[in-house]
Amino acid sequence: MKFWDDPAFNYARAITARHSKSFYISAGFLPKEKRWATYGLYGFCRYADNLIDNPRGRSPYDILEEIESLAREIEIAYRTGESEHPIVRVLITVAKRYGIPMQYPLELLAGVRMDLENKRYETFDDLYLFCYRVAAVVGLMMTHVMGYTDVRAFTYAEKLGVAMQLTNILRDIKEDALMGRIYIPQAEIRRFRCHESDIARGYMTNRFRELMKFQADRAKTYYLEADYGIPMLTNNCQFAIRSASRIYRGILAEIESRNFNPFLGRVHVSQRRKIGILFSEIIRGKLLPSSGRWLEIPETSFGK
């Protein structure tokens, strides 16, 4: 019996198909075992995110209890090797098979907890911890599944996860502000002499444009650094990570094309464009297999 014959994996696959069509399509081109492992990991991560994104009328206290209960179930599953909770069952199956440390899913839940409790971040170091927990650890778990030829791949997976989360933050500034959340570090808002009230009412100023450009440039730096880790992944999986990186960079490019104004409507990359990126990366992987060669990376001004 294959591990993906468990009905819980069909549940995880359904979550993936519902919440990320492009990711679901790209995973379909992975080797079968890694494809189902990817569905399992994404299903768990999306389930955890939905505790906040879809509160179902539950109070913050109820959601916090739900997060804590899920964390305890994960700890027990790692100790016993099994779980009757369907989403934890797929997680522990994949974790055992690919050697994923327990700290990663627990860090993800800690990030979900941060999003419940924190509405502001004072410094970029504070925000970085949040980005690490809700996004970078997903990349770290996926690196175990994809396979790697150099342990330094984990460093670059972290950078890519942070870059993607920074992109999400810039894309969703308007929606987040309406929910009372502002993720841009408070110290940097003050540094550029901007005001939260302008963000809340969607008032675009030259100062805020410069602040947005600074944030976008930071994200670009992380993407560029993360590129060095992709050749360290197993050849037949690199296309999926390159595709994800290109799609998210496309979001940044769209923001820039609007002169960094996030109040003109939600930016997105069309499904057609996503599919085009995916297939171009699949073809690239077949025609130009990576050498996995190590490249030196210059120091940057952002310090992480």
pLDDT of residue 9: 95
User: For residue 132, how many other CB atoms are within 10 A of its CB?
Assistant: 21
29 φ, ψ (degrees, to nearest 5): -95, 0
pTM of the shown model? 0.91
Q: How would you write the pLDDT of the chain (304 residues) with one tens digit per residue?
A: 899 999 999 999 999 999 887 778 888 889 999 999 999 999 999 999 999 988 888 999 999 999 999 999 999 999 999 999 999 999 999 999 999 999 999 999 999 999 999 999 999 999 999 999 999 999 999 999 999 999 999 999 999 999 999 999 999 999 999 889 999 999 999 999 999 988 988 999 999 999 999 999 999 999 999 999 999 999 999 999 999 999 999 999 999 999 999 999 888 888 888 889 888 888 887 666 544 433 333 333 343 4
According to the model, what pLDDT value does residue 164 have? 95
Buried b (16+ CB within 10 A) or exposed e, 34-59: bbbbbbbbbbbbbbbbebbeeeeeee
1-115 against 118-285: fold identical: yes
CATH topology for the 1-115 domain: Farnesyl Diphosphate Synthase (1.10.600)
Half-sphere exposure of 284 (CA within 13 A, CB side): 15
Q: Which CATH superfamily is domain 118-285 in?
A: Farnesyl Diphosphate Synthase (1.10.600.10)
Domain ranges of the chain: 1-115, 118-285
